[in-house]
A and B are shown apart, each in its own frame.
Chain A
Amino acid sequence: MILSGWESVFFWVFSIAAIFAGLLTVMARNTIHSALFLISSLVSVAALFILLHAEFIAGVQILVYVGGVMVLFLFVIMLVNVGSEERGAEEIFNRPRQVTVSVIFCALLVAGLIAAVNEGYKGFLRRDGSRIDSAAADAETRNQSLEKSATGSSRITNDTGRLGGVLYRFGSLPFEIASVLLLVAIVGSVMLARTLKQEAAVDDLDPDVLRKEAAADPELAEVQTETAV
């Protein structure tokens, strides 16, 4: 997986974009700007996935993260009031002492992780060093046997097909569990985000709480009598 030529140029462009967009996500004062920077970071990482020949994951990343999760984030940001933070009335970071300790912790963590990655990669090279070149040649011959794309400039890979095979052959039970997890998440978030009125309408409210709230809010009492009838 040694990249070369234009691939390495794209690697540096997209990785630097991902890191700067990630930094700006954390540092932006406006929460909407944070969300948009996170979107650009996710898109850059999706481009890195394409460089790693994981086209399906890149597509899923764009569709699910950028198209689904981030839109959800933007809706929630617009539902809650973050104005005081944007106008500068509220501090966006924790107290200075907490921030100092966190930054020191993160600096140590990044030094440790990068040292560990370099040492580990040396170990990998010792183990696979002789195989890497021949494996690259093998990958090239395998690539040559693939069908050409319509423009003739590249080959149609079968990585996505292989991923599907592995996913449904060896990961079918986790796949089903994941679908149940998503169902639970949908039901749970709908239950959590209900208003008091919606809870009263389906008679899912503690009677004491309802009596107290209905005294302050006559509309709530109306909802309750409607459902009682």
Chain B
Amino acid sequence: MFTFFSPALVLLLQEANAGRLATVWQDAQHPGLSKFLTIGALLFIIGVAGVLTRRNIIVIFMSIELILNAANLNFIAMSRYLQDTGNVNAAAGQVFAVFVIVVAAAEAAIGLGIVIALYRNKETILIDEIDILKW
């Protein structure tokens, strides 16, 4: 058990010695732009993983919603950062987020319509069983 965790422990000690752990803690207490962007990146990756690994087309659509939502988070965080550093008219990021939400709604409506039409003909929603271009 100890041998398994020892590299992490050594790393932790090194960080503590360098006084970097205190900075990490300081950063965690005052999350700024980079934390929001990191959360956005993680949500994006989870969405990409869902699109690449799942078989159910509805879950794939939901993963796409996650991806779009992560993009929205990035837009809004950058918009807030630019406003706070003096660019008072930087509400464009929020306007973009509104349009992303509109396009996501349109995409979901069309995509789910296609899913229903497909299910009526093929009796399946697993993407690896839907593999023909022409009926």
Contact = CB atoms under 8 A, between A and B. Distances in A.
Interface residues of B, number: 75
B25 to A, nearest CB: 11
Interface in A71-95: 72-73, 76-77, 79-82, 85, 90-94
A76 B115 contact: yes
A205 interface: no
Given A45-B73, A64-B101, A162-B91, A69 B65 contact: yes
Contact of B49 (A106, A124, A181, A193): A106
Say which size band chain A's interface belongs to. Answer: 35 or more
Given A22-B43, A139-B84, A171-B95, A45 B72 contact: yes
Contact of B39 (A2, A18, A159, A189): A18
A171 B95 CA distance: 8
Contacts, number: 250
A156 interface: no
A52 to B, nearest CB: 5
Interface string A182-209: 1011101111110100000000000000
A76 B116 contact: yes
B30 interface: yes
Interface of A: 1-4, 8, 11-12, 15, 18-19, 22-23, 25-26, 31, 34-35, 38, 41-42, 45, 48-49, 52-54, 56-57, 60-61, 64-65, 68-69, 72-73, 76-77, 79-82, 85, 90-94, 98-99, 102-103, 105-106, 109-110, 113-114, 117-118, 120-121, 124, 128, 131-132, 135-136, 138-139, 159, 162-163, 165-167, 170-171, 174, 178, 181-182, 184-186, 188-193, 195
26 contacts: A3-B30, A11-B35, A22-B47, A25-B46, A26-B53, A31-B56, A48-B36, A48-B73, A52-B76, A54-B97, A57-B97, A60-B101, A64-B105, A73-B58, A73-B62, A98-B52, A109-B48, A121-B33, A131-B86, A167-B95, A174-B99, A178-B102, A181-B102, A182-B102, A192-B114, A193-B116
